[in-house]
Amino acid sequence: MVDDDVKVELERLRAENERLTNRNTRGVSLKVSAKGGVSVYGHVRGGAQNSKSGRPF
């Protein structure tokens, strides 16, 4: 019984791993200015949907 549970969980994790590793990603890049400021490109800005004020941060 335990072996069956372990096999089912292992298969589920393998499928999840396959799904996550085959995602189409645009990539995230960082740019650091001469003064040390950091810009992040290629990410989705989130938080506005969950914010009570409607502002992301």
Rounded CA-CA distance 51/13 in Å is: 32
Rounded CA-CA distance 9/1 in Å is: 13
Q: What is the pLDDT of residue 11?
A: 95
Per-residue pLDDT tens, the chain, 57 aa: give them. Answer: 689 999 999 999 999 998 888 766 667 888 999 999 999 887 776 654 544 555 555
- Sign for the pseudo-dihedral over CA of 5, 9, 6, 11: positive
Q: What is the pLDDT of residue 42?
A: 78
Q: What is the pLDDT of residue 45?
A: 67
Count of CA atoms in the C-beta half-sphere (13 A) of 20: 6
Polymer length of the chain:
57
Q: What is the pLDDT of residue 25?
A: 60
CA distances for 35 relative to 31, 38, 51, angstroms: 11, 9, 32
